Amino acid sequence: MNVARIFADHAAGSPVRTEVAELLAALYRDGIGNPNGGHAEARRARALLDEARATIAETFEVESRQVTFTGSASEALALALSSELSDPGALLTTAAEHRGARALANRHQAAGGSVELIPVSASGAWHLDGLRSRPNAVGLLAISSGELGTEQDLAALRTLWPESDSGALILDAVQAVASRALRFSETGATHLVIGSAKLEGPAGIAALISAPDRRLKPLVPGGGQERGRRGGTEAVPLAAAFAHAVALTAREREGTRRHLNALSSAFDDALGAPEGHGLRRTGPADRTNRLPGHHSYAANWALGDDLVAALDHAGLAISTGSACISGSREPSEALAACGLSDDESRGGIRISFGRTNSIGEAERAAAIVAATCARIRDQELTEVRST
């Protein structure tokens, strides 16, 4: 009898939910014209695009003109950063950021810019003591860590980053949106980045929400699309599906959070003490400060990719700390920033449950993790004894 596989990699991206997939399929079947034309089909496409933009604007309590659709969250971060940061300017970020954000910081530094790393605690929380914003400095920070599950203290950041003397604050809310209700004005952000794939929406679409007084400098010039902020024909079906996913997420957020916390409790109870399986818990120990449904560990006796492959063979789909790190033998910069050793930083794994997982799947996932860790460690011990 084949046992059904368990998908527990929702922090990397959830499968498109049925309602969103049905909308997307219907739009593609109907045929959507270029929204920049003058005929009836173009006007319908423009209306759908405007409606999608308005839905996202309403969710974050901004005006529609503040929302710019992009092809990915990485593009949205790059668009915001390139619009705000001058070549010699100062960039403040952390070593525990998403790899895409760190790549932008590395590029700025390679071009002669200044990069200052804000330290993080052992749980990945920002160490804001001593942080002082600088005139014209740009901050690039994630509200919630996809790798460690850490939910950051936005209120504390706002007190240290007053708008009057700072250049810009770019906040990555890709992971946070699913679990936190965010009003743009209350985040303190100059730019806020949200994505679709983490919300059970389609990949290939994201959005940048910007303060109304900020001018974006397009990375790709074009024919005036997105108010001149991004060249290229807008992906109307993707935008409509993305907006629908945002609306559903906002409507169901509290219920989903309760369900994910129940899944985490079931998983923790079934797994027992991680140390008994050779695993070190990473990120916040207090679940109130962690993304719901998120679990992360490190092992100093195996590579994260090898553990992912073994668990995949056993029917459990997870990832290393970040999907961007998968396939790399390098230590995780985020784990290293939290004080873990090189061996532990190479052995990070992340298990992230989603709305569609069941309590039974969470319990079975724990059993798979325990059995897989025991098998690999026993095999390694046998090999050591035989040499």
pLDDT of residue 161: 72
Asked whether residue 65 is domain-assigned, the answer is yes
Asked whether residue 305 is domain-assigned, the answer is yes
pLDDT over 50 (residue 1) = no
Verify that 275 and 225 share a domain, yes or no.
no
What CATH number is given to the structural domain containing 193? Answer: 3.40.640.10
Verify that 213 and 313 share a domain, yes or no.
no
User: Quick one: how far is CA 215 from the chain centroid?
Assistant: 25
pLDDT of residue 133: 60
Verify that 228 and 302 share a domain, yes or no.
no
What is the domain extent for residue 145? Answer: 18-248
Is 240:23 a contact under the CB 8 Å cutoff?
yes
Average confidence (pLDDT) over 178-189: 95
Amino acid at 10: H
Verify that 239 and 258 share a domain, yes or no.
no
Q: What is the mean pLDDT of the chain?
A: 92
Last residue of a domain, one of 248, 270, 300: 248
Average confidence (pLDDT) over 270-299: 97
Helix axes 236-271, 40-60, angle to 10 degrees: 40
Strand partners, 353: none
Report, in this order, helix, strand and coil percent for the chain, each rounded to 5: 45, 15, 40
pLDDT over 80 (residue 322) = no
Verify that 204 and 258 share a domain, yes or no.
no
pLDDT over 90 (residue 59) = yes
Asked whether residue 183 is domain-assigned, the answer is yes
Amino acid at 76: A
For the entire predicted model, the pTM comes to: 0.94
User: Rounded to an integer, what distance in angstroms lies between the CA atom of residue 96 and that of residue 104?
Assistant: 14
- pLDDT tens profile 149-179: 999 999 888 877 765 455 899 999 999 999 9
Verify that 271 and 177 share a domain, yes or no.
no
- pLDDT tens profile 87-143: 677 899 998 998 889 999 999 999 889 999 999 999 999 998 877 666 778 999 999
Verify that 227 and 353 share a domain, yes or no.
no
pLDDT over 60 (residue 325) = no
In whole angstroms, how large is the CA radius of gyration of the chain?
A: 22
Verify that 199 and 108 share a domain, yes or no.
yes
Residue 89 has phi, psi (to 5 degrees) of: -70, 165
Asked whether residue 361 is domain-assigned, the answer is yes
Sheet holding 348-352, edge to edge: 280-281, 294-298, 348-352
User: Rounded to an integer, what distance in angstroms lies between the CA atom of residue 169 and that of residue 166?
Assistant: 8
- pLDDT tens profile 353-375: 999 999 999 999 999 999 999 99
CA geometry: angle 296, 302, 304, nearest 5 deg = 45
Asked whether residue 1 is domain-assigned, the answer is no
Verify that 217 and 324 share a domain, yes or no.
no
What CATH number is given to the structural domain containing 326? Answer: 3.90.1150.10
Verify that 184 and 289 share a domain, yes or no.
no
Verify that 320 and 259 share a domain, yes or no.
yes
Verify that 231 and 268 share a domain, yes or no.
no
Indicate the burial class of 83 (C-beta count within 10 angstroms; 0-12, 13-18, 19 or more). buried
pLDDT over 70 (residue 324) = no
Last residue of a domain, one of 217, 248, 279: 248
Tokens of 187: 């985040």
- pLDDT tens profile 131-155: 766 677 899 999 999 999 999 999 8
Percentage of the chain exceeding pLDDT 90: 82
Last residue of a domain, one of 203, 227, 248: 248
Average confidence (pLDDT) over 174-187: 95
Q: How many domains does the chain have?
A: 2
